[in-house]
Structure 1
Amino acid sequence: MYAAHILIVEDDNVLNDQLAELLRSKGFVIDQCHDGEQGLLSALKKKFDLILLDVLLPSLNGFSVLKTLRKTCQTPVMMITACGAEQERIEGYTEGADDYLPKPFNLMELMLRIDVLLRRTYKFNAKSNQQRVLQLDGLSLDRIHQGIAYHEQPIILTPIQFRLLWRLAESQNQVLSKAYLYQTVLDKSFSQYDRTLDMHISRVRKKLVEAGMPIERLVTVHGKGYCFS
């Protein structure tokens, strides 16, 4: 049976060891780093299934690590922070975080969130019997390699952003509700106070526009949801 490989980047030695011990007891393979530079080098050097990334790190903070990482690596990342401010969460999602967990946190909640992130990734990649490639008016999406290009211009998206764009693209010209996207892409129930989906949509739209796609191809239908045309 495959054991997921998780990287922990946390400068609190006690918490780092506590998380590592817990995750190893659950059958995961664990690497540990204690500062931002070391964590970034490790994340770029090896292939991980998930990265637990603290925000307040010595040498290089978590946001800087994530921003650099997202230029070449799309491994799912869960940010861990002692601050729960909304602006900080927005910054994390903007830089490409897949989830956000404020300290102090319940270890059971951590395990549940890890399970959701890994299950979400495996479930999407395992659907080999479904369509593997989408090509829509210059946009090409490859489900197996999670590759994206617009008129041969590569676009780098996080795993969640890729699944979100795929879901919208395969339902071209249809309005998909926020509740539906929360359930099928984020694996959680919709809450009107949760801006996670909005942040991911904004990031996807920004990257598509930077690649030359007209902004009106991914639109917000107020009061209803989102539509890709």
Structure 2
Amino acid sequence: MSVVSKILIIEGDPALNRQMKELMVGAGYQVESCFNGDSGLIAAMQECFQLILLDVMLPMHNGMTLLAMLRKTSQVPVIVVSAKGAEQERIMCLREGADDYVSKPFNPTELVLRVGILLRRAQPQFVHHHSQVMIDSLVLDSVSQTACIGGNDIHLTSTQFKLLWELGTQKGTMLTKAYLSRQVLNKALGTYDRSLDMHLSRVRRKLNEGGWQGTRLQTVHGAGYRLT
């Protein structure tokens, strides 16, 4: 069974936000809702989502500003849902990095279909079972805590495996250093703590030695890491 995708809805209208959440939950997704640009940006940067539904007319940060800020560190798929519907706005959203654009009022069935299509396109070579992740020739198994490339084991320490597992299960999403420090090292991130950098460098080297592109483990300077 594949992992359930998690969607972030950033919509300023409470009634429409609730309607969209019910629609996505009914389609089988996990959903978190935010009602302004400030809380939406924080959620998008600190948590892991497979897709974002974004309103343009938001309190605090508007949707265009939020999208531009988000694209500096993350390539999570974004569908802009806007009441304006003007051609120029659609072009601007696509230029800022939106993956799709839906005008309000939208057809519920169409929105669900667009979400499903975009999620499938975003992860064409990624299969995630509860205990196993496969990314091209790289296979991670959380039960045995092993990693192999093309059937050949690569030797990772427990910490190195945990780091790769976190990044692998949330492929394409930038994970903050603070999040990874808690999840992998079981401690809060210190101001001058370079432990994660050290572990990531060693994992990257071992992937390269095993014949897999270690450069797909990317450092987002000042923010975190992601696996592409």
Letter in 1 for 2:67: L
Partner residue, 1:112: 113
Q: What is the match of residue 101 of structure 2?
A: 100
Distance in 1, matches of 2:51 and 2:214, equals 19
Aligned with 2:123: secondary structure? helix
Cross-structure match for 2:184: none
1:128 Cα deviation after fit: 1.1
Q: How does 1:58-77 map to 2 (within 5 A)?
A: 58-77=59-78
1-structure distance, mates of 2:125, 2:33: 27
Determine the C-alpha separation between the residues in 1 that align with 2:76 and 2:55. Answer: 15
Q: How does 1:75-90 map to 2 (within 5 A)?
A: 75-90=76-91
Query: Which residue pairs with 1:22 in the alignment?
Result: 23
Partner of 2:7: 6
Provide runs of 4+ in structure 1 moved above 3 Å. 124-127, 142-148
Instruction: Give the aligned residue type for 1:74.
Output: Q
Could you give the per-residue CA deviations for residues 94-125 of structure 1, whole angstroms, max 9, x where no partner exists? 11000000111100000010010001112144
- The structure with the larger Rg is 2
Q: Which runs of 5+ in 1 are unaligned?
A: 131-141, 149-161, 163-229
TM-score, normalised to structure 1, is 0.56
**Residue aligned with 1:118, SS:** helix
C-alpha distance in structure 1 between counterparts of 2:121 and 2:73, whole Å: 21
Residue 42 (structure 2) aligns with: 41
Q: Which runs of 5+ in 2 are unaligned?
A: 128-134, 139-212, 220-227
AA aligned opposite 2:136: S
Do structure 1's residue 91 and structure 2's residue 92 form an aligned pair?
A: yes
Aligned partner of residue 31 in structure 2, secondary structure: strand
Is contact 1:50–1:76 with CA below 8 Å preserved after alignment?
yes
The amino acid that maps onto 1:11 is: G
Q: How many pairs does the alignment contain?
A: 144
Please give the root-mean-square deviation of Cα atoms over the aligned residues, in Å: 3.1
Q: How far has the Cα of 1:14 moved from its partner? A: 0.6
Which amino acid in 1 is paired with 2:11? E
Amino acid at match of 1:64: T
What's the CA shift string for 1:58-91, capped at 9, x where partnerless? Answer: 1111000000001111110000100111111111
Alignment-mate amino acid for residue 120 of structure 1 = R
Alignment deviations for residues 7-28 of structure 1 (CA, whole Å, 9 cap, x no partner): 0000111110011112112221
In the alignment, is the contact (CA less than 8 A) between 1:49 and 1:75 conserved in 2?
A: yes
Look up the match of 1:181.
none
Identify the structure with bigger relative contact order (alpha carbons < 8 Å, sequence gap 6+).
2
Identity level (%): 45
2:136 pairs, out of 106, 128, 131, with: 128
Question: Contact 1:125–1:144 at 8 Å: present in 2 too?
Answer: no
Aligned residue number for residue 205 of structure 1: none
* TM-score, normalised via structure 2 length: 0.57
Matched residue of 2:124: which SS? helix
The answer to whether the Cα contact below 8 Å between 2:27 and 2:112 also exists between their aligned partners in 1 is: no
| Separation in structure 1 between the aligned mates of residue 8 and residue 57 of structure 2, nearest angstrom | 16
Query: Map of 1:167-186 to 2, 5 A cutoff?
Result: none
Residues 86 and 59 (structure 1), Cα distance of their counterparts in 2 relative to 1, 3 Å cut: same
Query: What CA distance in whole angstroms lies between the structure 1 residues aligned with 2:70 and 2:85?
Result: 23
Q: Residues 143 and 97 (structure 1 numbering): CA distance in 2 closer, same or farther, change over 3 Å?
A: farther
Mark the CA change 1:125 to 1:147 in structure 2 (over 3 Å): closer, same or farther.
farther
